Amino acid sequence: MRKFGMVILGVALLLALGTGIAVLRPAWLGLAGIRAQPVELGAPFVLTDDHGNSFSSAALKGEPFAIFFGFTHCPDECPTTMSDLTEAMKILGPDADKLHVVFVTFDPARDTPPVLAAWMQNFDKRFIALTGSPAALAALATSYHVFFKAEAPDKSGNYDFQHTAATYLMDGHGKFVTTLSPEDKPSAMAKKLQALIAMPK
C-alpha cells in the first residue's frame, strides 16, 4: 500500500498543479522560507468527531493543521502515520499546541465515533478524529485529491482500502503548503511541522 499511495499522491498533485512538480520544490525542500502553494485543496465541512459532537472546519481557522485520511482497520499505513505524528508532536514540545492534527476516516460503516475514540487512545490526545456520511466524507477527500477505493471483502466480510497515504499540511488560512510523506521519519515530520508553525499568520 505504501508505494501505491505515493504513486496516487504524485498523480493527484500533478493533475492538481498542471504546471509540473517543480512548483512543489520550495515546499518540499523549503524548511526555511516555506510558503503556501498555488494549489486549491480542501473545502468547508461539518462532520462528527470521535465524541459524537458536530465538528466544523471553522474550528480550524487561524491555526495551521495537518490532515490525514484513512481507516481504523488499516493494517499498516494509517496506524504507522498516526504513531509517527505522535512522535513528531513529542519532538515539537510546547509548539505542538500551535497546530491541529486531524484524522478523517473514509470507512464510516465501521468507524463510528466510539470505534474512533477507542482507536485514537493509541495516539496523541490532542488529535481530532472525524467521521460522517459517506457522501460528506467522499466530498472532503475529493477536495484534497485523495484517492480511496474499497477492495473486495474476504470470506469473513473484512475489507481493506487502497488509498492515498500522504498527510496534507495547511496554513492558518486553510491554504495548502506541502505534504508529509509516508517515508518521512518523525524527526523529518517535526521539521516540516515546525516550519508550518513558523509561517506568518
Tell me the CA distances in angstroms from 186 to 10, 164, 193, one per residue in order: 21, 19, 10
- Residue identified by cell 518540499 is 28
CATH of the domain at 191: 3.40.30.10
Q: At residue 117, what is the residue type?
A: A
d(CA 59, CA 62): 9
Query: Can you give the pLDDT at residue 7?
Result: 41
| pTM score | 0.82
- Residue identified by cell 512548483 is 23
pLDDT per residue as tens, the chain (201 positions): 444 444 444 444 433 443 332 223 333 334 445 666 667 899 999 999 999 999 999 999 999 999 999 999 999 999 999 999 999 999 999 999 999 999 999 999 999 999 999 999 999 999 999 999 999 999 999 999 999 998 898 888 889 998 999 999 999 999 999 999 999 999 999 999 999 999 987
Number of other residues whose CB lies within 10 A of the CB of residue 81: 25
Look at residues 156, 62, 43 and name the one whose alpha carbon lies nearest to residue 104: 43
Query: Can you give the pLDDT at residue 189?
Result: 97
Query: Can you give the pLDDT at residue 201?
Result: 73
What pLDDT, in 10s, does the model give residues 38-97? 678 999 999 999 999 999 999 999 999 999 999 999 999 999 999 999 999 999 999 999
Number of domains in the chain: 1
Question: Quick one: how far is CA 200 from the chain centroid?
Answer: 22
Query: Can you give the pLDDT at residue 34?
Result: 63
Note whether 6 and 162 are within 8 A (CB).
no
Query: Can you give the pLDDT at residue 47?
Result: 98
User: What is the domain range of residue 178?
Assistant: 2-198
d(CA 179, CA 93): 21
